Amino acid sequence: MSPDYLIAVIITVVGASTPILFAGLGELVTEKAGVLNLGVEGMMLIGAIAAFATVDKTGNPWLAVCVAAAAGAAVSMIFGVLTLSLSSNQVATGLALTIFGTGLSTLIGQGFTGRAIKTFDTFFPDQLADDRIGRVLFGYSPLVYFSFIMVALVAWFLRGTRAGLILRAVGENDLSAHSIGYSVVRVRYAAVAFGGAMAGIGGATFPLVLTPLWAEGLTGGRGWIAIALVVFAGWRPVWLLGGAYFFGLLGTLELYAKASGASWTSVLPSEAWASLPYLATVVVLAIISVSKSAGGNAPACLGKPFLPSS
C-alpha cells in the first residue's frame, strides 16, 4: 500500500466517522439523563436537509451548521413533549420521530434534487497541507476539528462540572434528584435538545463535508449506528471517539472494495462490504447483551418515565 493511498484512506475514514461521532455524542448525553431517543436518524435527516437548503439559498456553510443544529433541536422537542410531558413510550416515540424525519426530509428535498452546494473549505491554510503529514493533520473541514472539541467538552462536562453531575444524577436516580430539589423534566429537556442539536450537526456533515448533492436518505442509516455506538462505548465520550472511527473505517471499505476491483470483490461482493458497519452493530449489541457485565455503565433510569407521584 503506497503512502498516498494510505493517506487517502485516513482522510476518507475521518470524514465518514465525523457525522457518527456528532450524533453519538448527542445521544450519549441524552441517555446519561435517562432518556432513550431512537429518533437520531430522523433528526440527522432534518439537519441534513436544513443545512443543504440554507447553503443553497445563502451560500454560507457556517450559517447552515447553526440552522441544522436549531432544526435538530426543534424536532427533538416533539419527542420531548410527548415523552417527558405526556409520558408516552420512549421507544415508540423515537421510532415515530425517525419516520417523521425521513418523510419530511424527503418531501422538502424534492426541490433540491440534482443541485450542488458550496461546502466547507479546509480549516487551516492550504500551505500547511502541502505534504503528506500536513494533509493528515491539517487537511480537514472545520467540522472535523469541532467534533474533537466536542468530545473533550462533553467528557469535561459530565465529569468535571456541577451541571454534569446533576444530569448524571437524574439519569441514575430521578426520584432522589427530584427529592432534593432538582427539576428532572427540565434537565431531561435540555439533554434531549442537546442531543437533537448534535444529531442535526451530524446530518449537516453529509452535505457540507461528504457530498455536495442532495439524495433521499442521505444519512444512510448512520443514526442507528450512532445509537449502537453509545452502548458499544459504555457511555464514555472518549471510547465513543474510538468507536466512531472504527465504524467509519468499516463504512469506507465498500468504497475501496469497488475502487480496487477484483482484488477485493473476489473476497466479498461489494454488497457484503457495504453491510459490514450494520453487521458489526448487530454483533456488538449481541455480545454486550449476553455479557455478564452488559449494561453495567448504563444509566439506571434509562428509558423509564419520570413519575414522582408513584
Residues 93-102 pLDDT 10s: 999 999 999 9
The confidence score (pLDDT) of residue 292 equals: 46
- Give domain status of residue 285, yes or no: no
Domain range spanning residue 111? 3-222
Distance, CA of 98 to CA of 39 (rounded, Å): 5
- Residue 290's SS3 state is helix
- Give domain status of residue 88, yes or no: yes
Model confidence at 281: pLDDT above 80: no
221's CB contacts (< 8 A; 6+ apart) are: 41, 278
Is 151 or 250 the better-scoring residue by pLDDT?
Answer: 151
Model confidence at 45: pLDDT above 50: yes
Number of domains, the chain = 1
The confidence score (pLDDT) of residue 241 equals: 94
- Give domain status of residue 76, yes or no: yes
Which of these, 9, 54, 51, lies nearest to 219 by C-alpha position? 51
Is 209 or 292 the better-scoring residue by pLDDT?
Answer: 209
- Give domain status of residue 176, yes or no: yes
Is the overall model pTM greater than 0.85, yes or no?
yes
Distance, CA of 203 to CA of 200 (rounded, Å): 5
- Render pLDDT for 76-119 as a digit per residue (tens, 0 to 9): 999 999 999 998 999 999 999 999 999 999 999 988 887 888 88
- Give domain status of residue 36, yes or no: yes
- Give domain status of residue 265, yes or no: no
- Give domain status of residue 184, yes or no: yes
The confidence score (pLDDT) of residue 99 equals: 96
The confidence score (pLDDT) of residue 289 equals: 60
CB atoms < 10 A from the CB of 44, how many? Answer: 38
Distance, CA of 82 to CA of 90 (rounded, Å): 8
Which of these, 62, 13, 16, lies nearest to 219 by C-alpha position? 16
Burial class (CB in 10 A: 0-12, 13-18, 19+), 271: exposed
Distance, CA of 250 to CA of 263 (rounded, Å): 17
